[in-house]
Amino acid sequence: MKRLLLRLGLVITLLFLFLYISPYDYLLKGVNTIYLTGHTTAYLTDYRRFHNDTVYAADQPQAWPLHRDYNRYSLNPELESYHKDRKSVAYLVIKNDSILYEKYYDGFGANSKSNSFSMVKSIISALMGIAIQEGSIKSLDQKVIDFIPDLKGPFAKEVTVGDLSSMASGQKWNEVYYNPLSVTSASYFVDDLDALLVDQPIIEQPGQSFHYQSGTTQLLGMVIKKATGKTLSAYLTEKLWQPIGATDDALWQLDSEENTMEKAFCCLATHARDFARMGKLYKNHGRWNGTQLLDSSFVALSLKPRFDESPEYGYGWWLDVVQDKKVFMMRGHLGQYILVVPEEDLIVVRLGHLKDKDKESKGKSSGGEPFTKDIYVYLEGGMEMIKNVSKN
C-alpha cells in the first residue's frame, strides 16, 4: 500500500510538472478554480476564485419602480417546475419599465451577484458604439490592425471592428466549452489573454458570414481598450453603469493580476436587476430617462441581422420573432438570458445553473441556428403573465 501511494504521488507530481512546462499550463488554474470545486465547467459564482476589476455603481443609483401589480400573479405550476428542474436562480418580468414579477431560488436574492457569461458580449458591442460616437474608433469599417498590429493570419489586415461585433472575423477558433484543451477553455484560464488572442490567426475572408466565436469578442475588447486608453471596467463605469443608475458594483473577471485584461467575451458578475438595464436601454433606442447614451441608429443597426442567411444575430445581440413579435436578447452559458419584446414593452430576465439542451426553431431563428427551448418557455411565461395586468 505504501509503495502504491508513493507511485501515485509520483505520477501526480509528474503530471503537474508536465502541465506546468507544457502549452496547457493554464489547466493548473482550471483545476484549482473549477474542477476541484466539483464543477465540470464555469459556474455562476466562480468570480470569487478569479482576480476581478470593479465596475462601480452609480453615484445616484436608480432603483427599478415596482409595477402596481408587483408579484400579484404567480407562475403556473408547469413553469415553476421548469425553473426548479433547470436550477434557476432569478426570474424577472419587467413591464413598462416596472418590475411586475420577480422570484429568486437556491439562496440567491435581489442583490446576489451571478456570472453573465456571454451576455456581456452585448455590453461590449454597446461600448464599441460609444467609442465610435466619441471618435475613439472611426467607424465600424476601421481596421482592427490599427489597434492590434501584431494580429496574425493572411486576412489580418482586412478584418474590421464591425466584423468583430457581428461575429464575422474569419478567426481560427474552436468554440467548445467542455473540452479543457480547447482554445475557448484556455481563454478562461490563461494569464495573458492578449498573447493568446494575437496567436489565433484570421484565416478566412472576414465580413462574409456569421460564426459565433468568443475570441472575436475578446479581440473587440482589446480594440476598445486600446482605442479609449481605458480599461473596459473603467469605460463601462463611466459610459454606462453610472448613467443607467446601476445600484451595485459589478465585478469583471481578469486574466491575471499582472496583465489586468478583462475577459471581454464573458464574466461580468452582477445581479438580475442591473443586468436588465441593458434591455431597457436598447428597448428605448439607446435613450435612458431622457438622455441619449447610444446613438439610436447604432441601436437599430445592432438589432438587425447583418447576414440574410443568419437572421439570428446582429451586432452583439441575438434576434428572433416570437408570436409574430420581434425579440432581441442577451444570451450566456448555462442559460443566462435578457429577453426583450419591444412591442410589448417587456423585459424577461432568467439566470440559472442549467439550460435546456433541446432546440426549437421559431420565427426568424428558423432560418439560422435554432435556439434552445428554454428561451421560449421563459419568454412566453412572461408574455402570458402580462396579458391580464393593468398598464402602468
Same domain, 87 and 188: no
pLDDT tens, position by position, 57-70: 999 999 999 999 99
pLDDT of residue 13: 46
CA dist 286 and 125 (Å) reads: 13
pLDDT of residue 36: 84
Question: pLDDT band at 11, cuts 50/70/90?
Answer: very low
Same domain, 225 and 358: no
Residue 79: φ, ψ to 5°: -70, -40
Report yes or no: 159 and 201 within 8 Å, Cβ to Cβ: no
Same domain, 145 and 254: yes
Same domain, 316 and 215: no
CA dist 119 and 349 (Å) reads: 11
pLDDT of residue 388: 80
pLDDT of residue 30: 79
**In this structure, what DSSP letter does residue 185 have?**
H
| Mean pLDDT computed over 287-295 | 97
Final residue in a domain of this structure, among 270, 299, 328: 270
Q: pLDDT exceeding 70 applies to what percent of the chain?
A: 91
Sequential DSSP letters for 290-334: TEE-S-HHHHHHHTS-SSTT-TTBSSS-EEEEETTEEEEEEEETT
CA distances for 89 relative to 80, 319, 348, 368, angstroms: 12, 24, 14, 29
pLDDT tens, position by position, 266-277: 999 999 999 999
CA distances for 173 relative to 3, 16, 176, 199, 252, angstroms: 44, 26, 9, 10, 23
| Mean pLDDT computed over 365-378 | 80
Same domain, 260 and 280: no
Same domain, 181 and 233: yes
pLDDT of 226 strictly over 80: yes
Please name every residue paired with 320 in a beta bridge, in sequence order, or none if there are none: 327
**In this structure, what DSSP letter does residue 58 have?**
P
Quote the mean pLDDT of the chain: 92
pLDDT of 248 strictly over 80: yes
Q: Which three cell numbers stand for residue 358?
A: 433541446
pLDDT of 55 strictly over 60: yes
Q: How would you label 146-155 residue by residue, b for 16+ Cβ within 10 Å and e otherwise?
A: ebbeebebeb
pLDDT of residue 271: 99
Q: Which three cell numbers stand for residue 359?
A: 432546440
Question: pLDDT band at 17, cuts 50/70/90?
Answer: very low
Final residue in a domain of this structure, among 270, 291, 321: 270
pLDDT of residue 1: 55
CA 356 to chain centre: 18
How many domains are contained in the chain?
3
Question: pLDDT band at 3, cuts 50/70/90?
Answer: low
Q: Which three cell numbers stand for residue 372?
A: 434552445
Q: pLDDT exceeding 90 applies to what percent of the chain?
A: 83
Sequential DSSP letters for 144-181: GGGT-TT--STTTTT-BHHHHHTT---B-----SS-TT
Same domain, 278 and 184: no
Which range marks the domain in which residue 127 is found?
42-57+113-270
| Mean pLDDT computed over 184-203 | 97
| Mean pLDDT computed over 151-168 | 99
pLDDT of residue 40: 85
CATH number for 344: 3.40.710.10
pLDDT of 285 strictly over 80: yes
pLDDT of residue 14: 39
| Mean pLDDT computed over 218-238 | 99
| Mean pLDDT computed over 84-106 | 98
Question: pLDDT band at 178, cuts 50/70/90?
Answer: confident
Final residue in a domain of this structure, among 270, 298, 328: 270
pLDDT of 389 strictly over 70: yes
CA dist 85 and 73 (Å) reads: 21
Same domain, 202 and 326: no
Same domain, 52 and 201: yes
pLDDT tens, position by position, 72-88: 999 999 999 999 999 99
pLDDT of 354 strictly over 50: yes
Same domain, 237 and 177: yes
| Mean pLDDT computed over 4-18 | 47
Same domain, 141 and 74: no
pLDDT of residue 83: 98
Sequential DSSP letters for 325-362: EEEEEEEETTTEEEEEEGGGTEEEEEEES-----EE--
Question: pLDDT band at 332, cuts 50/70/90?
Answer: very high
CA distances for 49 relative to 24, 26, 29, 110, 352, angstroms: 19, 14, 10, 22, 19
pLDDT of residue 390: 56
CA distances for 56 relative to 35, 75, 248, 270, angstroms: 30, 34, 7, 11
Same domain, 158 and 249: yes
